[in-house]
Amino acid sequence: MKVNAEKNNGLCRLQIEGEMTISAATELKKSLLDNLANCSELEIDLSQVSEMDTTGFQLLFLVKREASLLNKVFRIISHSPKTLSVLKLYNMKDFFES
């Protein structure tokens, strides 16, 4: 798992590559929350995610909730087939688009 970050005027754009699974959870959680803390808007590109399990889904849910509590903008700007499949499985696609 690799997280590429770009920061510009309060906007953080992250592109996650590889697996969003339990094996990468600790590192990914730290990266997501650290980036959220240092920006006013967080965009995440999931188009290069090759695998996502329940833990990966829970991390996205956590970051969206934290962004809301901090009055920050959170959005997913692109999905891979694997991430879209997980969001549809949990009937949460619309939740992450709002």
User: Could you state, in order of their start, the residue ranges of all structural domains in the chain?
Assistant: 2-97
CATH no. for 2-97 = 3.30.750.24
pLDDT in tens, 8-38: 999 999 999 999 999 999 999 999 999 999 9
* pTM: predicted TM-score of the whole model, two decimal places: 0.93
Res 98 pLDDT > 80: no
b/e sequence 39-77, b meaning 16+ C-beta within 10 Å = bebbbbbbeebebbbeebbebbeebbebbeeeebebebe
